[in-house]
Amino acid sequence: MIKKLIAPIAAVVLALALPVADAQTVIKFSHVVAENTPKGQAALKFKEVAEKKLPGKVQVQVFPNSQLFGDAKELEALLLGDVHFIAPSLSKFDRYTKKLQVFDLPFLFDDVQSVDRFQSGAIGKGLLESMKSRGLLGLGYWHNGMKQLSTNRDVLKRPEDVKGLKFRIQASDVLEAQFRALGANPQKMAFAEVYQALQTGVVDGQENTWSNIYSQKFFEVQKTIAETNHGVIDYMVVTNLKWWESLPADVRTGLVEAMAEATAHGNKLASDINEADRKRIADAGKAKIQKLSKEDTAAWRKAMEPVWKKFEGDIGRDLIEAALKANS
């Protein structure tokens, strides 16, 4: 008799236990770069810390290299709930806010330390919340580094060297205007397509950080990389606001803490990774690294200057002033 009762009781106990097991939240984090990059490393750190802080409560799945969603789709996928965290470059949000275009203004920031000061200030922090009405919440900024310019030409030193050339750009109107100001032809293209476009000559050049130029092997299909440092590639980690608010409070707290640790980790690594990748590219001897004199840099700055005026209205003078103040 007792034996007969045990089986149904066990079934009930199991059924009651199941929802607990089901309560584990699976968090998909999708990004477009390789794992051996600042963003790739920060995303892995986020997984490690989140799963340690919230044992059994969350499982974080990281999908690098546009495996799950590429540039064109990842923001839409986030809003549809198909993925929960993404970290697009700050250049890729202009359909959601014009404010973040400030990061694309050429020669606005002296270096990544200046970018960091701006992001840590009241205005920078405020931008994390600037897309809430569009369903997106920013949880932090992750660094990559300063952009360099590369082409399939032997000479790349002065702005006139890029006249008439075709450049792949991220989906940003500011970057489009930047290349038009140089007399070049910009083409918006997803990151995953760039290597092939460079290899086949669909475009002549691109702009990116050393870590992206190295990890995507762009240096193997370009002749010259000019050390222009003319802009920045940094990221905002964003989540779907509705999904975020639906999480239990303790899970949200744990994820915020994990995000802070991942941010500190990735941001500390970023400049070392870029420096090491610059050296790897130099050692490979495939693309020439072209240093620029002060006069050369001044010429690039002057050629790109019209872009500021064009976007000042959209971005807001207050943001540009705050960014300028962050330069030491």
What is the nearest approach in angstroms of ligand LMR to the Cβ of residue 67? 13
Using CB under 6 A, pick the residue from 32, 78, 115, 319 that binds ligand LMR: 32
What is the nearest approach in angstroms of ligand LMR to the Cβ of residue 208? 5
25 vs 208, which CB is nearer to ligand LMR? Answer: 208
Task: Check residue 80 and report its DSSP letter.
Answer: H
Phi, psi of 15 (to 5 degrees): -60, -40
Confirm if 57 and 251 have CB atoms less than 8 A apart: yes
What is the nearest approach in angstroms of ligand LMR to the Cβ of residue 314? 20
Neighbours of 309 (CB within 10 A): 9
State yes or no: residue 208 binds ligand LMR (CB under 6 A).
yes
State yes or no: residue 90 binds ligand LMR (CB under 6 A).
no
Pairing of strands 205-208, 85-86: unpaired
Using CB under 6 A, pick the residue from 170, 215, 239, 263 that binds ligand LMR: 170
Using CB under 6 A, pick the residue from 203, 233, 238, 247 that binds ligand LMR: 233
212 vs 267, which CB is nearer to ligand LMR? Answer: 212
Cα separation, 106 vs 308, in Å, equals: 8
Q: Name the burial class of residue 112, with classes exposed (0-12), middle (13-18) and buried (19+) by CB atoms within 10 angstroms of its CB.
A: buried
What is the nearest approach in angstroms of ligand LMR to the Cβ of residue 71? 6
Tokens of 155: 């000479």
State yes or no: residue 322 binds ligand LMR (CB under 6 A).
no
What is the nearest approach in angstroms of ligand LMR to the Cβ of residue 87? 7
Using CB under 6 A, pick the residue from 33, 68, 225, 292 that binds ligand LMR: 33
Neighbours of 26 (CB within 10 A): 9
State yes or no: residue 191 binds ligand LMR (CB under 6 A).
yes
State yes or no: residue 174 binds ligand LMR (CB under 6 A).
no
226 vs 233, which CB is nearer to ligand LMR? Answer: 233
State yes or no: residue 212 binds ligand LMR (CB under 6 A).
yes
Please report, as a single letter, which amino acid is at residue 220: E
- SS3 string, 38-58, reads HHHHHHHHHHHHHHHHCCCCE
Identify residues 264-303 at the interface with ligand LMR (CB under 6 A): none
State yes or no: residue 229 binds ligand LMR (CB under 6 A).
no
Cα separation, 88 vs 91, in Å, equals: 8
Please report, as a single letter, which amino acid is at residue 235: Y
Name residue 206's beta-bridge partners.
150, 168
The H-assigned helical ranges of the chain are: 2-22, 38-53, 71-80, 112-120, 122-127, 173-181, 194-200, 210-215, 241-246, 249-284, 294-304, 306-315, 317-325
State yes or no: residue 89 binds ligand LMR (CB under 6 A).
yes
State yes or no: residue 238 binds ligand LMR (CB under 6 A).
no
Binding site for ligand LMR (CB under 6 A): 32-33, 89, 144, 170, 191, 208, 212, 233
